[in-house]
Amino acid sequence: MKYALLLFAILACLFLSAERIPPVYQLEHIEDANYTSGPGGSGSFVGVLYLYNYSGNLLSNIEKYTANYYTPPDKISNDPPPYWILQATWISDSQYWVYDDGFELRQLYCGGSPIYRQTRFRNDGYILRDMLSSGVVVVYQYSDTMKLTEKTTRNSLTSFDRWTNEYDNLDRRISTIQSQSADSLNWTPIQKWEYFYNGETQSAGYNFEKYENYLVFLEEVPFVPNSYKRSHYTIWGYEAGEWVLQQTITIYSDGQYYEAQNQSAKFYSNGLYKGYFTPGAGTESAHEITWFAGSTDLQDDLMPQANTELHGYPNPFVSKLTLELSKSGTEPLLLQVFNMKGQLLKQDNFSPGQEVSWDGMNASGKTVPKGVYLIRVIEGSKSYETKVVKL
């Protein structure tokens, strides 16, 4: 009896710990795409999509999709939806640990090889340490006002990188110095960035320092923003013991939009990175990121939130997807189907109480290709979304 009570107490503590884990922003999908235009309206699209699926706040698996198609000359539509094809699924054996002052998550961080990322968080979501199963370790240090002052990376036992940030009296980051070392004791400066501001502030609640490390192993965020809007920055190299100016880059900023050197980047209103777009002569590149915010996190009008009110089954599906709202009302429903580029493929109206379903076809009555689709159901002033996979 005593051991049974002890076992019950342990299980109860684990359950309560699971409920106590503060949700953090995690990747929902990453899409890389390149479009090259040719003569006569022809063009080619090549893309890679990683879709991250969660169970609660823990990653369950990562699905990798690829797209590769060619549009012949003089075709009516020069921009058909990409044919996303599932290439691989990696299962994430996610784990977590809860402490008095924070928690750790261990999850698969990207496809390719089974490399895990174990991240230590403060209870308020700031990242303190990253470890990869490949041996890389990253440590983050903050000021009293939670501005990132230093990031140190151990690439191997004989290779270290360090980024040191300096702030002014308004807590604006004014410089970053990158140094390298072979023993973590003796450091050599490599490069420096200096940042300049136009005097305008970002929207309330914008906190890039908290979120800039969420992509540390996946994407270098261009034109690092701040709670204040920047006007330009300079890049310096360290040569023969002196700093030498290499480049001055002007930034055009409008809210959470930044443009520099023919590349534009966007950020959510809280500081999370949304992606970039690079135009070119005949070739365009885009990188898009969406986030899973956790079911109990603070709402953000620009953040995609985990949805538990709209369910599609079976998922994946072949020829028919049935949709169900957990709280159905008495108003008519509008069903909309989008591809991953945001193009509306089909919409249908349904009466209250009528079964809501999608037959896997577009507005022209043609079966859409295999891939990932966004389903939206609108009921009066309310809107619900979920993602599905068509096989």
Q: Which pLDDT tens digit goes with each residue over 105-138? A: 999 987 566 789 999 999 888 999 999 998 999 9
Does the pLDDT at position 149 exceed 70? yes
pLDDT at residue 159, rounded to an integer: 97
Distances (CA, A) of 128 to 3, 20, 27, 103, 104: 37, 19, 18, 10, 10
Reported as a single tens digit per residue, the pLDDT across 172-187 is 899 999 999 999 999 9
pLDDT at residue 292, rounded to an integer: 78
Nearest CA to 384 out of 309, 319, 318 is that of 309
Mean pLDDT on 236-246: 95
For residue 371, is it left (φ>0), alpha (ψ between -120 and 50) or beta?
A: left
User: Please, which contacts does 83-87 make with residues 24 or more away whose CB atoms are closer than 8 Å?
Assistant: 83/369, 83/370, 83/371, 84/47, 84/49, 84/340, 84/369, 84/370, 84/371, 84/372, 85/370, 85/371, 86/370, 86/389, 86/391
**4 phi/psi in degrees, rounded to 5:** -65, -40
Cβ-proximal residues to 286 (8 Å cutoff; 6+ apart), any chain: 31, 32, 33, 34, 275, 276, 277, 278
Does the pLDDT at position 75 exceed 60? no
CA angle, residues 361, 67, 74, in degrees to nearest 5: 75
Percent of the chain with pLDDT over 70: 82
For the chain, the distance separating the N- and C-terminal CA atoms, rounded to the nearest angstrom, is 52
13 falls in which pLDDT band (50, 70, 90)?
very low
Give the residue, 323 or 388, on which the prediction is more confident: 323
Global pTM value: 0.69
Mean pLDDT on 129-157: 94
- Min mean pLDDT across 66-70, 147-151, 312-316 is at 312-316
Residue 189: asked if its preceding bond is cis (omega within 30°), the reply is no
Query: Taking the CA of residue 74 as centre, how many other CA atoms within 13 Å lie in the half-sphere pointing to its CB?
Result: 0
Distances (CA, A) of 255 to 38, 236, 250: 35, 27, 16
Does the pLDDT at position 324 exceed 90? no
Cβ-proximal residues to 169 (8 Å cutoff; 6+ apart), any chain: none
Locus of tokens 């885009």: 286
pLDDT at residue 296, rounded to an integer: 39
Q: Where are the alpha helices (DSSP H) in the chain?
A: 2-20, 208-211
pLDDT at residue 333, rounded to an integer: 86
Mean pLDDT on 235-257: 85
Contact between residue 179 and residue 162 where contact means Cβ atoms under 8 Å apart: yes
Distances (CA, A) of 146 to 103, 122, 141, 197: 18, 11, 9, 20
Domain ranges within the chain, ordered by starting residue: 1-135+272-306, 310-390
Nearest CA to 150 out of 178, 187, 182 is that of 178
DSSP state of 40: G
- Min mean pLDDT across 52-56, 111-115, 362-366 is at 111-115
Instruction: State the chain's mean pLDDT as an integer.
Output: 80
| CATH domain 310-390 topology | Immunoglobulin-like (2.60.40)
